[in-house]
Every structure is written in structure tokens, then in C-alpha cells.
Structure 1
């Protein structure tokens, strides 16, 4: 059975097989988690991303999809890049499915790589504006339903608010009748 764990910390410090990057569609780095992963992982990640852009993803990585690169200097083996949706209330239902797809596709790619452990950030819950409670519910539900081929799915949350929200939502999801 897959263990789902929550930690407050820096995703670039995680010693796991796969670190998931909340990437932008260009795959060429950016701010937040994306920028931190590219800075800490070094030029090898960017070089792999450029190769992907030159071959399969000339127009960028579509929202909800996932693709793997080297992890460069990170303590992980691979980085799986996924592009989360920007939150818009009027499209919440469709966008919720795309957010779940980010987690599902990232887990699928990780399993294809032979990974046993995966670390996720809270995809779309930062600058993309996803309400944290809803982002946590989608992330945790999808990981619990789709992560069965892994030993551990870890959520690495930056800051006490994110950690506390994920912890509360995970407790609610595990309560009988919730």
C-alpha cells in the first residue's frame, strides 16, 4: 500500500526517485517551484527541457500532461514536469479535472521510469491562484486513487499554512463517512 506523507520544507532537498515540478508550459524555467528546481538542479535540467521543446513539445507542454527529465544536481533521480491550470471560478469543473490530470500523469510517468518514491508540490496553489483547500483535496484524492504502484507519495509544502491545510484535508479524507 502506498504511503502518503506530508512534509513542510523545500522540494529541492527531497531524496526521492522523482521530484515533480510545477512547470510553466515553456519548460524553460520560471518562478516559484519551477525556478527553484531549475536553479538547484543546474543546467542539465534546462538542456533536457530544450531537447523536449526541439522534438515533441515545440509549442510547449500542454496543461495536465507530464514529461520527465534528468534531475541534474538534485538529490532525486528524475524531475517530472507538469503544467497546472490557472484557476478561474467559472471553469472550475473542467480545470479541476486538468489539475487531477497533472497528478495522474505525473504518477504514470514516475511508474514508467521505475520510480518508487515521488515528491509533489501543491500544483497550481501558488501564483496560479488555486484555492488551497480545493487544491489539497484534488491532490490527495488523486494520489490516493492513482499512486498504488509506488511506495511513497510525498507532498512537500512550503510554509505552515500550506502544510496545515493539507494535513487538515488529509485527515478529513481519511475519516469514515467523509
Structure 2
């Protein structure tokens, strides 16, 4: 079973093999965590993403990490669901983001991966439900990844994730 750690901070500063970004379908960068990762990795990340696009909601694709500080070698791009009140299969799609992120990490040989809170920003997914889905999906995934670090940007997300991880 994969170990899960929760930290509060900047995902671009994580000491892991791969970071996951909450991308849009173009994989060319956006706002929030995706924008931060793209700024830190440099312009080549958007160029590489454009060659792989589109990436549909629930899927994940990988690029090199370019200018991110080693040991980060890969950026795994996943597209979360836009919250529509729970009527558009959002929970299944969000779970798929975490599952596919781990599958791609396995394909890359990554043993340590940092995930943000996918879809809780401009996509509007309710943070408490998103946190539960993230933790449950990671815990139940068949993966060779040894460590998943859930990186919370704010204190509220951090507290939600800690409460779920600490109940194990």
C-alpha cells in the first residue's frame, strides 16, 4: 500500500520524482497550480503539452519536468471535472484523475509523486468531497508508487486532507 503524506506549501518545491498538475485539455498551462508549475518548469512544458493535447477529463499524460528542480523528472498532467452539482459523473472523473496519475507514474518508474487538490479551484469541485475522493482513490490504487504527497495550497485544504489521512 502506498504511503500518503499531507503537506502545505508550493508543489513546485516538492522533492519527488513526479508532480501532478491540474491541467486543462490543451496542456499548455492555465491558472492556479497549473500556472505555477508551468512558470517553474519553463516554456518548454507548454510546448511539450501542446504536442500531447488534447487530454480529456479523467485522463493523464506525462511530459518531462524541464526546469523544475531535480529530482523532479516528470510532470503528469490530468484534467479534472468541472463541478456541475454532481449530476455529470464528476466523482468518477475525479477518481480517474488520481488513478490515471498513478498509472502514468508507474509507467514512468516514478516512486514518489506529489498531487495537488485537483478540480477544487476554478473548476469548483467541493473541497471536502474532493479530498475524500483523492484519499480513497489513492489508498485503493494498485501502484508501485511508494509515496504520494498531497500538497495543499491553503490551510483549509490541508486540514481536510490531514483529517482523512490520519483516520487510517
Normalised to the residue count of structure 2, the TM-score between the two structures is 0.94
Indicate the RMSD between aligned Cα atoms, in angstroms: 1.2
Q: Aligned to 1:103, what secondary structure does the other structure show?
A: helix
Q: If you compute each CA radius of gyration, which structure gives the higher value, 1 or 2?
A: 1
CA distance in 2, matches of 1:24, 1:110: 19
Structure 1: which 4+ aligned runs deviate by more than 4 Å?
none
Gaps of 5+ in 1: none
SS of aligned partner of 1:91: coil
Aligned equivalent of 2:78: 82
8 Å contact 1:21–1:34 — kept in the other structure? Answer: yes
State the distance in 1 between where 2:26 and 2:145 align. Answer: 28
Displacement after TM superposition at 1:171 (Å) = 2.9
Does structure 2 conserve the Cα–Cα contact (< 8 Å) formed by 1:14 and 1:119? yes
Question: How far off its partner does 1:90 sit?
Answer: 4.4
Aligned to 2:102: 107
Is the Cα–Cα contact under 8 Å of residues 147 and 153 in structure 1 kept in the other structure? no
Task: State how many pairs are aligned.
Answer: 166
Instruction: Structure 2: give runs of 5+ residues left out of the alignment.
Output: none
Shift of 1:169: 2.3
> 2:63 aligns to what?
69
For 1:120 and 1:32, locate their aligned partners in 2 and report how far apart those are by CA, in whole Å: 13
Relative to its length, the structure with more helix (as a share) is: 1
**TM-score, structure 1 as length reference:** 0.89
